[in-house]
Amino acid sequence: MPFRTNKHIFFDLDHTLWDFEKNSALAFQEIFTNLDISVNLNDFLEVYIPLNKLYWEKYRNEVVTQEELRYGRLRDSFDSLKMSISDADIWTIAHQYITTLPTYNHLFEGAVDVLNYLKTNYSLHIITNGFNEVQTGKLKNSGIMHYFETITNSEMAGVKKPNPKIFEYALRFANAKASQSVMVGDCLEADIYGAKAIGMQTIWFNEFKATPPKDIIAIHTLAEIKKYL
């Protein structure tokens, strides 16, 4: 069943439109090769992915700073692998990761098709907790920047999802009302519950087919958005 009348669709970027894990793996592969760091990529990613998720949760909750996130997720990963690596090398990897990551731009299947479909009837926007320099690069390099009328990031808003202030900032920026807006994202806490708390409609991009809460509309592929919008 389609949603009630709405005019604005807000998307998260990473893990929703932009295939973060695939692009991240390619970035690390390039960096480790260039820096001659002898680590098995699969072994590294096995420990890095959950640690990165943990650090982002801490970052959302104001427990760590941006710099602590960038350093800590790498330091903890190499420590878990019992690899000796200097702080200088950690920071080199961290800085190269920020510049290399946006050069890989795999989108989730159906992303461009869905954006073309929605663009004819809705104003499209981005709300992201990611860093401005990185997220802008991802949007430009992946060729989807032009679909979005506004792009709100946590650095602009001064707070991170799920804080209601970032959604309120994004709505003001877009000249949109919460009652006429839909948030599409992969994170229940940050994207879905955060948006619902201020009266936005939501669609959870549930790629891994977890059992959704009863009051949440969930999709497993981006193409399924067409059922509701």
Residue 145's alpha-carbon distances to 20, 75, 172, 224, in angstroms, are 17, 33, 20, 22
State the sign of the Cα–Cα–Cα–Cα dihedral 105, 109, 111, 117. positive
> Cα(185)–Cα(9) distance, rounded to whole angstroms?
11
Choice among 12, 19, 186, 191 that is catalytic: 12
Q: Is 12 a catalytic residue?
A: yes
Q: Omega into 102 within 30° of 0, i.e. cis?
A: no
3-state secondary structure the chain: CCCCCCCEEEECCECCCECHHHHHHHHHHHHHHHCCCCCCHHHHHHHHHHHHHHHHHHHHCCCCCHHHHHHHHHHHHHHHCCCCCCHHHHHHHHHHHHHHHHHCCCECCCHHHHHHHHHCCCEEEEEECCCHHHHHHHHHHCCCHHHCCEEEEHHHHCCCCCCHHHHHHHHHHHCCCHHHEEEEECCHHHHHHHHHCCCCEEEEECCCCCCCCCCCCEECCHHHHHHCC
Residue positions annotated with a catalytic role: 12
